[in-house]
Amino acid sequence: MSRQPVTAPLAIAMVKALEKGCQTYDELVAVSGLKKPTVARWIKALRDARVKGVYVEQWVEDVNGRLFVPCFRWGERPDAKRPGRSLTSAERMRALRASRKAGP
């Protein structure tokens, strides 16, 4: 399987989209016409370059309603932290056992 090249016009189109606002991988795919793995490699290369590049502005919901999809923006800000679960696995199990012990 051959890789798609990120040509200068495609890169410029994606940078302009990132400058306008927050963009997910799927939105960048729609702007560029490239495949998702190619866009992901391009984003990773920009983030690894340590020059003015791309940061995660926010996390958006996936198809299941979980905040898993990064939304990128052009600039030099720290990445937004992804909200995690409010309870750890041990805390959830402790609450479940307590509720079972309490009964109906």
Query: Quick one: pLDDT at residue 49?
Result: 78
| Mean pLDDT (the chain, rounded) | 89
Q: Do 26 and 71 meet the contact criterion of CB atoms below 8 Å apart?
A: no
Average pLDDT (16-38) is 94
Q: 80 or 88: whose pLDDT is higher? A: 80
Q: Is 43 helix (H, G, I), strand (E, B) or coil?
A: helix
Radius of gyration of the chain (CA): 19
pLDDT tens digits along 35-74: 999 999 999 998 887 667 899 999 999 888 888 899 999 9
| DSSP strands (E only) in the chain | 53-61, 67-75
User: Is domain 8-102 annotated with CATH 1.10.10?
Assistant: yes
Domain ranges of the chain: 8-102
